[in-house]
Amino acid sequence: MSRLGNCYDNSPMERVFRSLKTEWIPPVGYMTAQAAQRDISHYLMHRYNWIRPHQFNDGLAPAQYEKNLNVVSGIS
């Protein structure tokens, strides 16, 4: 962590929330907390990590990028 009040510490997480809000959450919200939890969990664990390409990862989804790094580094 850097010094107190440094806005750049939280920027990766802010980006996740921005993507979640603009790409996935319906404008009218959810009818129940359970529906919200199920839908948001699906987005984060499936779409965001396995399907959605990320510019930082050379156009790969995070899970695929990590898989490639593990192959290159010899981690199984």
Give pLDDT tens digits for 6-21. 777 788 888 889 999 9
The model's pTM is 0.68
Give pLDDT tens digits for 40-59. 999 999 998 899 888 888 89
pLDDT of residue 2: 64
Q: What are the residue boundaries of the structural domains of the chain, listed by start?
A: 7-73
Instruction: Report residue 55 as tokens.
Output: 């510019």
- Between CA 22 and CA 24 the distance in angstroms is 6
- 3-state SS class at 54: strand
End-to-end distance of the chain based on CA atoms, in angstroms?
Answer: 30
